[in-house]
């Protein structure tokens, strides 16, 4: 046995052996320990502790190589020495952990190249290391490089703090052996750690992809926007380890919070904020680039916004809708060239200041944001599509409703003539269901068609067949039978129908039932004809009764009535009385007129409605239905009454009768004599036509009355003219025949009186008396002859005027005031019963007119004489004179002759200056006249460029005023 063979080792050898055994034991244990863990931290802890123990040093430290930095970084150390105070250790620790040794530094290079280890006897001896040595209390140190398969992994350092020492071969050997094992363990642990990190990274990526997928799923599932936002936010927050977040949409440059995710019920912002006022948000929206904004970088209004939403440090990610990827282009071509649009922002929030997002995180956030944007785009698109669809459906429904509600029948046929679509009207008319799909000819065969003139239309010539051959059919009329068998006139229009390629695929035919319209047309024509005939018939008539008879006859024929009557209206009594009737026998007429009397002249307690209506000018239907009287005596009456009226004046009534015969009234319409029900009633049409005819009759009656009046007026005027003409003749003859004899009578009477006067003395007293009487009588003869001469003179002058022969003496300046004064003086002398005065208004200019002095005197004399003559009980007569301003500032002289006599009635005033006119008052004047004086006055004034009018109240005692004007002559010096 080996044990036996070596039973007697020397004790030294034994100790060495034991030490070696222990060392190998320790080494094995350490190796096992190191290999048993992949936890780097644990490995390093074990390494430094055990190495210090095994190598019998007070301190063992480990540095690991960080490839990325190219430096050795202190990881951990073990210190067994109790000599160092804690404070120093703490201070040294703080520095040590932060220090590093660049790989390319000479010391490290030397160590790595040394192959095994490096012993530094006194670190403080090297001037460059002195500080370091003192700080960490390093003197002698053994440095062991940790190398695995030629790759440096790190370094071990062994020393006793602040002591210079050496290391035995055994220590160095042990340390190197440990270093080798440690390098493997550390490398493995680090590889494991890296693998672990990679795995985590991969897991994170998978998680992110998964969350993007989840969001995308929500988007694709067309979840509503808030759900998409919620899912997106949850994933963002979870995957990015954030403390909440929010999503806001940009609408018309305003930012509106739509979703917030804060783990608790997040704060909400009501309303929206102008994007331009939030600088960071605005920047992100404008550039389309995400940005990490720290709390301290937020300014102005943005602070408020952040607070309201609950944000601190945020990654702001734009939600970009890519114009090119949405289908919006298809819908709205204006979007074709629009760039990508930022439609909102996602905020990912972190409370910690130290957070710094990595590129991957931002890219991930962008991916989620893109999904949200997609959802928004999709949602908007969907909304638009839905809206468009709703509109289209609405339009289609409306069109469909219109299509079916149309009174025109619409039928669409394909090119073979098969019916494709029918609307309600067409289906009803043709008597075929709306989904009828057969050939139209089948229908035509069942219901043959005819032209309006009655010619049969062959299938080949039917409008639809012709339209299918390419002919355009416009407003063609034909006669056919309706589904219900009634014969109707149709008007049809047919237009070709094209598909989207402009290829004809059929025809659309629209047809209307115009039977009623044509019937109305015929009725209108008939009514117009009637009216025309009525108008023609009455146009030459002046006899009202004849006119109305003709009207009633025509109307009865037109409106298919057998009986009728005309009533005349008495305006004073406000009553209608029958003028004549047509179609009655004596007995029935009597009854009938009595019936009419019931409503035309109702008792006070009876219904006045019919009477009032006709008086108001409306055609009225008189039947029991309208008559609220119980029991109803008008039960059998069916009369249509229209007032004959024109210019608001009712002349009478036109009555048409369709009443049942009185005798059969009780038997009601059962009697065959009463004819069919429709004959019994009047239609609205009848009422309208009768109203028109009655109005026309009103016009005709009015005209006839006018004509009669005009005729009478013409007659009286002609008689007047005739009378005046004979008076003129008489006047001319009188003037001509009387003048010479009167002159002779006057001259002879004067001569005889003159010759007789000397004889007086020779006669006896009685003879003288007889002679005196004879001379006085001769004086009377002379005076009467003079008066007659005056009358004859007037006749002559009037004759001259009517013949246009009266001429004035050549005009001279005449002082009108002087003449007036003379006339007044003269008249005063001869008319002692009257106080005749002259009032001349003082004036700077004399009252001079240009004219014939004698004629002007004649005017004033005439007026004064009339004033005296027509003031039979005396009284004042005044001649007033003044100047007034007439048109264009020309001065006129105004003369007024006023009296307080009998006055002139108003209706006579305008006739006073006519020839031979004598007012009705003239009989109360003193003396007779011939009605020529004022005519002459007016004519003379007219010849002088003047005018005259009269004023009077017509009251006896208030008298009259005759006012004439003449143009005054204006002398230059008197005008100022």
Here the tokens at position 890 are: 């020309």
Name the residue nearer to ligand ADP (CB basis): 903 or 968: 903
- 870 part of the interface to ligand ADP, by CB under 6 A: yes
The mark string for 414-443 relative to ligand ADP (x by CB under 6 A, - otherwise) is ------------------------------
Whether residue 544 contacts residue 567, with contact meaning beta carbons closer than 8 Å, is answered with no
Smallest distance from the beta carbon of 749 to ligand ADP, in angstroms? 25
Cα separation, 69 vs 99, in Å, equals: 13
> How many C-beta atoms lie closer than 10 Å to residue 65's C-beta?
24
Question: Edge-to-edge strand order for the sheet containing 245-251?
Answer: 272-274, 254-261, 245-251, 341-350, 313-321, 291-293
Smallest distance from the beta carbon of 735 to ligand ADP, in angstroms? 16
- 930 part of the interface to ligand ADP, by CB under 6 A: yes
| 560, 718, 821, 852 from 557: Cα distances, Å | 5, 44, 82, 76
The mark string for 829-868 relative to ligand ADP (x by CB under 6 A, - otherwise) is -------------------------------------xx-
- 881 part of the interface to ligand ADP, by CB under 6 A: no
Interface with ligand ADP (CB under 6 A), residue from 172, 181, 259, 921: 921
Region binding ligand ADP by CB under 6 A among candidate stretches 133-141, 754-762, 779-787, 924-932: 924-932
Smallest distance from the beta carbon of 908 to ligand ADP, in angstroms? 7
> How many C-beta atoms lie closer than 10 Å to residue 608's C-beta?
13
Name the residue nearer to ligand ADP (CB basis): 596 or 952: 952
Name the residue nearer to ligand ADP (CB basis): 713 or 955: 955
Instruction: Name 678's Cβ contacts closer than 8 Å, sequence gap at least 6.
Output: none
- 877 part of the interface to ligand ADP, by CB under 6 A: no
Q: Three-class SS string for 160-186?
A: CCCCCCCCCHHHHHHHHHHHHHHHHHH
List beta partners, residue 896: 880, 963
Give ∠ CA 342-345-347 in degrees, rounded to 5. Answer: 160
Name the residue nearer to ligand ADP (CB basis): 860 or 919: 919
Name the residue nearer to ligand ADP (CB basis): 636 or 918: 918
Q: Three-class SS string for 65-108?
A: EECCCCEEEEEEEEECCCCCCHHHHHHHHHHHCCCCEECCCHHH
Smallest distance from the beta carbon of 875 to ligand ADP, in angstroms? 11
DSSP one-letter string for 791-823:
HHHHHHHHHHHHHT---PPPPEEEEHHHHHHHH
Region binding ligand ADP by CB under 6 A among candidate stretches 385-393, 617-625, 754-762, 926-934: 926-934
Smallest distance from the beta carbon of 929 to ligand ADP, in angstroms? 2
Plot region of 961 (φ>0 → left; ψ -120 to 50 → alpha; else → beta) = beta
Smallest distance from the beta carbon of 904 to ligand ADP, in angstroms? 5
Residue 753's SS3 state is helix
Name the residue nearer to ligand ADP (CB basis): 410 or 902: 902
List beta partners, residue 641: 620, 655
Name the residue nearer to ligand ADP (CB basis): 108 or 937: 937
- 581 part of the interface to ligand ADP, by CB under 6 A: no
Cα separation, 309 vs 261, in Å, equals: 10
Is beta strand 875-885 parallel, antiparallel or unpaired with respect to 834-840?
Answer: parallel
- 919 part of the interface to ligand ADP, by CB under 6 A: yes
Whether residue 910 contacts residue 899, with contact meaning beta carbons closer than 8 Å, is answered with no
- 583 part of the interface to ligand ADP, by CB under 6 A: no
Phi (first) and psi of residue 511, to 5 degrees: -130, 150
Smallest distance from the beta carbon of 843 to ligand ADP, in angstroms? 26
Cα separation, 843 vs 880, in Å, equals: 13
Which H/E stretch holds residue 593? helix 586-600
Interface with ligand ADP (CB under 6 A), residue from 697, 934, 938, 941: 934
| DSSP structure class, residue 958 | T
| DSSP structure class, residue 952 | E
Is beta strand 245-251 parallel, antiparallel or unpaired with respect to 341-350?
Answer: antiparallel
Smallest distance from the beta carbon of 817 to ligand ADP, in angstroms? 21
Smallest distance from the beta carbon of 529 to ligand ADP, in angstroms? 59
Judged on CB neighbours under 10 Å (0-12, 13-18, 19+), 230 is middle
Smallest distance from the beta carbon of 790 to ligand ADP, in angstroms? 11
Name the residue nearer to ligand ADP (CB basis): 132 or 861: 861
Instruction: Name 563's Cβ contacts closer than 8 Å, sequence gap at least 6.
Output: 556, 581, 582, 583, 584, 592, 656, 657
Region binding ligand ADP by CB under 6 A among candidate stretches 327-335, 435-443, 688-696, 918-926: 918-926
- 922 part of the interface to ligand ADP, by CB under 6 A: yes
Smallest distance from the beta carbon of 921 to ligand ADP, in angstroms? 5
Cα separation, 755 vs 369, in Å, equals: 157
Name the residue nearer to ligand ADP (CB basis): 550 or 960: 960
Gyration radius of the chain's alpha carbons:
70
Instruction: Name 484's Cβ contacts closer than 8 Å, sequence gap at least 6.
Output: 431
Here the tokens at position 384 are: 């638009």
Name the residue nearer to ligand ADP (CB basis): 183 or 898: 898
Interface with ligand ADP (CB under 6 A), residue from 124, 623, 960, 965: 960
Region binding ligand ADP by CB under 6 A among candidate stretches 181-189, 421-429, 884-892, 922-930: 922-930
Name the residue nearer to ligand ADP (CB basis): 124 or 960: 960
> How many C-beta atoms lie closer than 10 Å to residue 576's C-beta?
24
Smallest distance from the beta carbon of 881 to ligand ADP, in angstroms? 18
Q: How far apart are the first and last CA of the chain?
A: 185
Name the residue nearer to ligand ADP (CB basis): 559 or 859: 859
Region binding ligand ADP by CB under 6 A among candidate stretches 314-322, 343-351, 881-889, 916-924: 916-924
Name the residue nearer to ligand ADP (CB basis): 348 or 919: 919
CA 138 to centroid of chain Cα atoms = 99
Name the residue nearer to ligand ADP (CB basis): 146 or 940: 940
- 954 part of the interface to ligand ADP, by CB under 6 A: no
Nearest residue relative to ligand ADP (C-beta): 929
The mark string for 886-915 relative to ligand ADP (x by CB under 6 A, - otherwise) is -------------x-xx-x-------x---
- 148 part of the interface to ligand ADP, by CB under 6 A: no
Give ∠ CA 581-583-587 in degrees, rounded to 5. Answer: 80
Region binding ligand ADP by CB under 6 A among candidate stretches 358-366, 598-606, 750-758, 919-927: 919-927
Q: How many residues bind ligand ADP (CB under 6 A)?
A: 21
Name the residue nearer to ligand ADP (CB basis): 894 or 899: 899
Name the residue nearer to ligand ADP (CB basis): 618 or 926: 926
- 933 part of the interface to ligand ADP, by CB under 6 A: yes
Smallest distance from the beta carbon of 836 to ligand ADP, in angstroms? 13
Which of 255, 355, 367, 361 minimizes the C-alpha distance to 309?
255
CA dihedral 714, 716, 722, 728 (to 10 degrees): -120
Interface with ligand ADP (CB under 6 A), residue from 931, 949, 958, 967: 931
Region binding ligand ADP by CB under 6 A among candidate stretches 150-158, 667-675, 692-700, 927-935: 927-935
Region binding ligand ADP by CB under 6 A among candidate stretches 136-144, 271-279, 395-403, 929-937: 929-937
**Residues contributing to the site for ligand ADP (CB under 6 A):** 866-867, 870, 899, 901-902, 904, 912, 917-919, 921-922, 929-935, 960
């Amino acid at each position: 046995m080996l044990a036996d063979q070596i039973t007697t080792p020397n004790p030294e050898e034994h100790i060495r052996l034991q030490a070696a055994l222990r060392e190998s034991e320790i080494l094995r244990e350490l190796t096992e320990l190191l290999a048993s863990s992949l936890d780097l931290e644990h490995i390093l802890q074990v390494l430094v502790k055990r190495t210090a123990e095994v190598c019998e040093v007070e301190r063992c430290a480990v540095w690991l190589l960080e490839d990325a930095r190219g430096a050795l970084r202190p990881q951990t150390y073990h210190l067994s020495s109790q000599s160092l105070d804690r404070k120093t250790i703490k201070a040294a620790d703080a520095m040590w952990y932060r220090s590093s040794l660049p790989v390319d530094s000479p010391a490290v290079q030397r160590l790595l190249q040394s192959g095994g280890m490096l012993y530094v006897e006194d670190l403080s001896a090297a001037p460059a290391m002195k500080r370091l040595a003192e700080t960490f209390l390093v003197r002698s140190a053994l440095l062991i490089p940790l190398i695995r398969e030629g790759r440096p992994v790190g370094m071990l350092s062994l020393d006793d703090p602040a002591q210079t020492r050496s290391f035995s071969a055994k220590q160095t050997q042990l340390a190197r052996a440990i270093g080798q094992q440690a390098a493997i363990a550390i490398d493995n642990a680090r590889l494991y750690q890296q693998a672990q990190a990679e795995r985590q990274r991969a897991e994170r990526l998978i998680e992110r992809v998964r969350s993007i997928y989840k969001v995308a799923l929500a988007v694709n599932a067309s979840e509503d926007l808030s759900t998409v936002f919620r899912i997106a936010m949850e994933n963002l927050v979870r995957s990015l380890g954030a403390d909440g977040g929010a999503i806001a949409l940009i609408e018309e440059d305003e930012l509106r919070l739509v979703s917030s995710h804060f783990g608790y019920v997040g704060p909400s912002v009501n309303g929206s904020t102008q994007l331009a006022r939030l600088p960071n948000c605005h920047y992100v929206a404008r550039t389309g680039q995400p940005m990490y904004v720290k709390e301290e970088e937020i300014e102005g209004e943005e602070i408020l916004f952040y607070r309201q939403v609950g944000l601190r440090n945020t990654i702001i990610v734009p939600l970009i809708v890519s114009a090119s990827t949405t289908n919006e282009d298809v819908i709205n071509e204006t979007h074709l060239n629009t760039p990508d649009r930022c439609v909102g922002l996602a905020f990912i929030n972190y409370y910690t200041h130290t957070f710094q997002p990595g590129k991957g995180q931002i890219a991930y956030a962008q991916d989620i944001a893109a999904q949200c944007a997609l959802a928004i785009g999709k949602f908007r698109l969907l909304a638009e599509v839905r809206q468009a669809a709703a509109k289209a459906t609405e339009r289609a429904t409306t069109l469909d409703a219109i299509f079916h509600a149309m009174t025109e029948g619409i039928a669409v046929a394909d090119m073979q003539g098969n019916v494709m679509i029918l609307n309600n009207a067409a289906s009803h008319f043709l008597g075929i269901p709306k989904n009828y799909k057969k050939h139209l000819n089948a229908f035509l065969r069942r219901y043959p068609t005819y032209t309006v003139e009655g010619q049969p239309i062959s299938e080949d010539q039917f409008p639809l067949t012709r339209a299918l051959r390419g002919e355009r059919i416009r407003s063609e009329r034909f006669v056919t039978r309706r589904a219900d068998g009634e014969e109707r006139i149709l008007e049809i229009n047919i237009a070709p129908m094209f598909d989207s390629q402009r290829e004809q695929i059929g025809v659309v035919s629209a047809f209307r039932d115009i039977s009623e319209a044509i019937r109305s047309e015929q009725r209108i024509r008939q009514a117009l004809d009637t009216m025309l005939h009525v108008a023609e018939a009455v146009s030459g008539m002046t006899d009202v009764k004849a006119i109305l008879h003709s009207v009633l006859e025509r109307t009865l024929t037109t409106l298919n009535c057998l009986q009728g009557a005309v009533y005349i209206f008495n305006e004073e009594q406000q009553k209608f009385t029958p003028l004549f009737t047509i179609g009655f026998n004596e007995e029935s007429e009597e009854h009938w007129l009595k019936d009419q009397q019931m409503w035309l002249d109702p008792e006070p307690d009876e219904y006045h409605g019919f009477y009032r209506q006709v008086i108001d000018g409306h055609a009225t239907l008189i039947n029991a239905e309208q008559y609220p009287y119980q029991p109803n005596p008008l039960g059998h009456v069916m009369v249509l009454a229209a007032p004959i009226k024109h210019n608001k004046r009712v002349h009478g009534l036109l009555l048409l009768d369709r009443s049942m015969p009185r005798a059969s009234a009780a038997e009601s319409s059962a009697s065959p004599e009463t004819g069919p029900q429709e004959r019994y009633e009047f239609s609205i049409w009848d009422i309208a036509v009768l109203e028109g005819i009655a109005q026309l009759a009103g016009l005709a009656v009015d005209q006839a009355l006018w004509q009669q009046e005009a005729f009478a007026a013409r007659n009286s005027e002609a008689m007047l003219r005739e009378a005046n003409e004979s008076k003129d003749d008489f006047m001319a003859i009188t003037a001509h025949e009387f003048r010479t004899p009167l002159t002779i009578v006057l001259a002879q009477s004067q001569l005889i009186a003159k010759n007789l006067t000397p004889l007086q003395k020779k006669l006896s007293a009685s003879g003288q008396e007889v002679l005196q009487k004879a001379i006085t009588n001769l004086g009377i003869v002379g005076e009467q002859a003079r008066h007659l001469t005056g009358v004859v003179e007037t006749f002559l002058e009037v004759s001259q005027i009517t013949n246009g022969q009266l001429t004035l003496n050549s005009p001279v300046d005449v002082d009108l005031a002087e003449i007036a004064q003379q006339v007044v003086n003269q008249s005063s002398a001869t008319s002692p019963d009257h106080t005749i005065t002259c009032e001349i208004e003082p004036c700077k200019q004399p009252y001079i007119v240009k004219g014939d002095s004698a004629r002007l005197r004649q005017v004033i004399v005439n007026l004064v004489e009339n004033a005296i003559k027509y003031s039979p009980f005396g009284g004042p007569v005044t001649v007033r004179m003044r100047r007034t301003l007439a048109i264009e500032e020309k001065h006129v002289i105004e003369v007024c002759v006023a009296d307080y006599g009998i006055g002139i009635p108003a209706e006579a005033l305008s006739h006073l200056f006519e020839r031979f006119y004598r007012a009705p008052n003239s009989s109360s004047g003193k003396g007779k006249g011939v009605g020529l004086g004022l005519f002459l006055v007016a004519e003379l004034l007219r010849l002088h460029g003047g005018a005259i009018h009269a004023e009077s109240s017509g009251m006896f005692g208030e008298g009259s005023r005759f006012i004439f004007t003449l143009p005054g002559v204006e002398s230059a010096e008197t005008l100022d």
